[in-house]
Amino acid sequence: MSNITTFNPTKVPAFVKKAELSSIAKALAGGGTGGTSMKRISTKGGVFRLLSGGKEVASIDDRHLDVVIVNAAPKVSRTFYAGQYIEGEAKGPDCWSADGDLPDASVAEPQAKSCATCPQNIKGSGQGESRACRFSQRLAVVLANDLEGDVMQLTLAATSIFGKDEGEARRPLQAYARFLAAQNINPEMVVTRLKFDTKAAVPKLFFMPVRWLEDDEYTSAIEKGQTEDAKRAVTMTVSQADNVKPPVLEHKKATPIVEEVEEVDEPEVRKETKAKPTAVPKKASSLASVVDNWDADDE
C-alpha cells in the first residue's frame, strides 16, 4: 500500500482547521549573515548525503527522503562567480544577493546596481543558454523519522525551485508550495517527500506530501522552526564548507565564500510579476478530488 493513502484530507487535524498560511508557505510559493557550523543535506551526485562539519557522515541509498520543512528563506538568493567552479576550492563569489533584488552591501565590486538590471542575469551570460548568476533557496528541515533530531540545512538550486507543475509526484518547490497553499495547508503541517527526478542530468528534486503530522509532531515542528539553528539554516551564509574561514584582505572586508550549489541551468528569463492570491477553499475536504489523482507509486 502506498504511503500517499495516509494523507487523507477528510481527517483534518485540529491544528489545521483554524490555521492561516504561514511565512514558510508564502516564501516557498515565490513570495545575511551567519556561518556557524551546522548539519546539512546535500544532493551532490544525485544522492542524499548528510554532512556535519563539512564532512559526509552518511549517505542514503533510497531515491527519496522524507522530511518536515520547519523554516525557509523568505526569498530566493543569487550568487555569481566570474570563473568556473572548481570542486574543493575555497573561493568567494564575485557578487551575491541574499534577497535576489540587490547586491549584498559587502560585495566589493557589484556587477550592477540591482539584480534585475545585471548583465549576469541575462540568458546566455553563463554556459550555454544559462545565466551566469545562479539562483538558490535555503530550507531548514528535520528528518521525518527523527522529528526531535537536529535541524538541517537544505540548499536548492534553480531546477528544484522553479518549473512547471507536472502534477502528482512531479512538482518543484514553488509549484508544490502553491499546491498546498491552495488547500490552506502550510508545509510544516505535513511530511514532505523529496524525490529525485531520475530523468534530469543534474540533481533535481520534486516534492510531494506523504501524510499529516500528528498534533504533537506539529507542535515540535513549530518549535524547531523557531530555533537558532533553523534561523541560521535559512540565512544566506558565505562559507564554501563548514570548516572554511573567509580570508581577510587588506583595506577590504572579508571576502565571503558561498556554499557549493550544484550547477544547473536556470529557468528562462521572464519579467517578475506579483502572483495573484490563490483562491483558498474554506474546507480542506476540497482536496479529496485532487488526492484521487495523486501518484500512488513512489519508487
Residue 191, in any domain of the structure:
yes
The Cα 209–Cα 21 span in angstroms is 16
Identity of the amino acid at 141: V
Contact 159, 264 (CB under 8 A): yes
At 66, give phi and psi (nearest 5°): -95, 125
Identity of the amino acid at 118: C
The Cα 266–Cα 248 span in angstroms is 32
- Cell readout for 90 is 575555497
Residue 62, in any domain of the structure:
yes
Residue 117, in any domain of the structure:
yes
Model pLDDT for residues 95-112, shown as the tens digit of each residue:
999 999 999 998 989 999
Q: Say what the pLDDT of residue 282 is.
A: 34
The Cα 101–Cα 124 span in angstroms is 20
pLDDT confidence of 21, banded at 50, 70, 90?
A: confident
pLDDT confidence of 247, banded at 50, 70, 90?
A: very low
Closest to 290 in 3D by CA, of 28, 281, 173: 281
Burial level of 201, CB count in 10 A (0-12/13-18/19+)? exposed
Q: Say what the pLDDT of residue 93 is.
A: 84
Residue 29, in any domain of the structure:
yes
User: Range of 103's domain?
Assistant: 9-264
Q: Say what the pLDDT of residue 277 is.
A: 35
Q: Specify the range with the lowest mean pLDDT, choosing from 11-25, 80-94, 230-244.
A: 230-244
Model pLDDT for residues 175-224, shown as the tens digit of each residue:
999 999 999 999 999 999 999 999 998 899 999 999 999 999 999 999 99
Number of domains in the chain: 1
Indicate whether 261 pLDDT > 60. no
pTM above threshold 0.95: no
Residue 280, in any domain of the structure:
no
- Cell readout for 251 is 583595506
Q: Specify the range with the lowest mean pLDDT, choosing from 10-14, 140-144, 231-235, 279-283.
A: 279-283
Q: Say what the pLDDT of residue 215 is.
A: 96
Residue 281, in any domain of the structure:
no
| DSSP-assigned letter for residue 11 | S
How far from 177 is each of 85, 163, 293, CA to CA, in Å?
31, 12, 18
Indicate whether 248 pLDDT > 90. no
User: Mean pLDDT score of the chain, rounded to an integer?
Assistant: 77
Q: Say what the pLDDT of residue 50 is.
A: 93
189: helix, coil or strand?
helix
Residue 288, in any domain of the structure:
no
Model pLDDT for residues 137-154, shown as the tens digit of each residue:
999 999 999 999 999 999
pLDDT confidence of 267, banded at 50, 70, 90?
A: very low
Q: Say what the pLDDT of residue 264 is.
A: 42
Strand partners, 56: 51
Residue 169, in any domain of the structure:
yes
